[in-house]
Homo-oligomer: A and B are copies of this chain.
Amino acid sequence: MRIIDENTLEDLALGAAVLGTGGGGDPYIGKLMARQAIRDYGPVEMYTLDELADDDLIVPTAMMGAPTVMLEKMPNGDDIINAFESVGKYIGKPIKATMSIEAGGLNSVVPIYVAARKRIPLVDCDGMGRAFPEIQMVTHTLFGISATPMAMSDERGNTVLMETINNNWTETFARSITVNMGAMAMIALYAATVGQLKQAAIPGTMSYAMDIGKVIQKARVQEDDPVNTVREAVGGYLVFKGKIGDVQRRTEGGFAKGDAFIDGIDAYSGQKLQLSFQNEHLAVRIDGEYRVTVPDLIALLDVDTGEPITTESMRYGFRVAVIAFPSNEKWRTPEGIALVGPRYFGYDVDFVPVEERFG
C-alpha cells in the first residue's frame, strides 16, 4: 500500500503525463481537482492488485472528450461522482475501489479525486500503460471485459448509462453523447473484479508514474539534463530535437486531431519531423518516413525543463525533444496491434518496435 498525498500526487501527475503521450487531459486541472479533494477529505490509499481480494469489484473513472475543451470548461466534480455512483447503483453491488483507465494528465488523477471524495482506495494499475483516444482501446478489451455498464455525466446534472454488445458500440454511443455534453464528459466504465484485472490490466502503472515523476523532480533540483533524465526513467530513446513550426488542429467528432511540424536543431538540423495526434501522439515521421507509431509511446518534452507537452498545448516556437519508448507487451500481440496499431488510425505502415529502430 502506498499513500497518495499532495507530494506524491505531484510526482504521479508528472510521471503520468509522460506516459500519457500528450493526452489523457490537461494535467494541471486534474491536479488541482485531486489536490483539493485530498485537502478536503484526506490522503488516498493505493493498493496493488495482490493486496486486494479476487472478488473485489473495481470501477474505473475518467474524463472523455477533446482536451482542448477542458482548458475552458472545468469539470465541477459532482459530475464524476454521479457517473461513478450510477454504475454502482446499476450493478447493485458494493464497489471496493476505483482505478485509472489510462495514464495521462487528467485521467491518472480523476480517480484520485473520486477515491478521496468517496473514501475508497485507488488500485495501482490501468488499462493502457499509456493513454489512447478511444474507449475500446484498453487491455480489458483484449481479455473480453465489457466497457458497460458505462455511465456518463455532465456538469449540468445529465447522466447517460449504457449496455452495449461490444466495446466498439460503447465508443460509438459515448462519442456522440460526449459531443452533446459539450465535447467533454465524465465517465465510469469497465467494472471488473480484481481477479479479472490480474489477467487483463496493466499492473503497477500508477506507482511507475510516481517513480518517473520523482526522478524528474529530483533531476530538476540537481540541474541534470532533464530530457535525458526522463528518457532514462522510461527506458526510452531520443528520437529528435527541434523547434515547433506549424501546428494544424481540428476538433472532429469529439476528438482533438491534427499534426505538428517540427524543424530539427542541433544534430537534427535540416530534418523535419511530422507528429500526428488524435488526443494522444500517435505517429512520428521524419523526412516523410515513419519512425515511431502506436502502440509504442511518443513523448514530447520541453528541452529546458523535461516537462511533457500535451497535444493541446503545443505552440509555434516551442523547443522540444521527442522521445519514444516501448509499449506494454500486451499491445504488441496481433490482437493488440489490430486494436491500437498504426493501421487502425489510418497510417499505412506496419508496426515496428521502437527498440528495433533506435536500440
Contacts and interface: CB of A to CB of B under 8 A. Distances in A.
A164 interface: yes
Nearest to A82: B163
A173 interface: yes
Interface residues of A, number: 19
A199 interface: no
B180 A156 contact: no
Interface string A156-181: 11111111110001001100110110
Interface in A252-292: none
Contact of A169 (B158, B161, B172, B173): B158
Contacts of A177: 173, 176-177
Interface string A86-115: 100010000000000000000000000000
Contact of A165 (B90, B156, B162): B156
A187 to B, nearest CB: 14
A333 to B, nearest CB: 27
Contact of A162 (B156, B160, B164, B176): B160
A172 B173 CA distance: 13
A161 B162 contact: yes
A163 B158 contact: yes
Contact of A179 (B156, B160, B176): B176
A176 B180 contact: yes
Interface in A49-88: 86
A161 B176 CA distance: 14
A177 B174 CA distance: 9
Nearest to A177: B173
Contacts of A180: 172-173, 176
A245 B308 CA distance: 63
A162 B158 contact: yes
A172 B160 CA distance: 12
Contacts of A159: 162-164
A164 B181 CA distance: 11
Contacts of A86: 163
A161 B161 CA distance: 5
A160 B163 CA distance: 6
B173 A164 contact: no
The 6 tightest CB contacts between A and B, nearest first, are: A176-B176, A161-B161, A160-B162, A157-B165, A159-B163, A158-B164
17 contacts: A90-B90, A156-B169, A157-B165, A158-B163, A158-B164, A158-B173, A159-B163, A160-B160, A160-B161, A160-B162, A161-B162, A161-B163, A173-B177, A173-B180, A176-B179, A176-B180, A177-B177
Given A158-B163, A160-B173, A176-B180, 17 more contacts: A86-B163, A90-B90, A156-B169, A157-B165, A158-B162, A158-B164, A158-B165, A158-B169, A158-B173, A159-B162, A159-B164, A160-B160, A161-B162, A173-B177, A173-B180, A176-B177, A177-B177
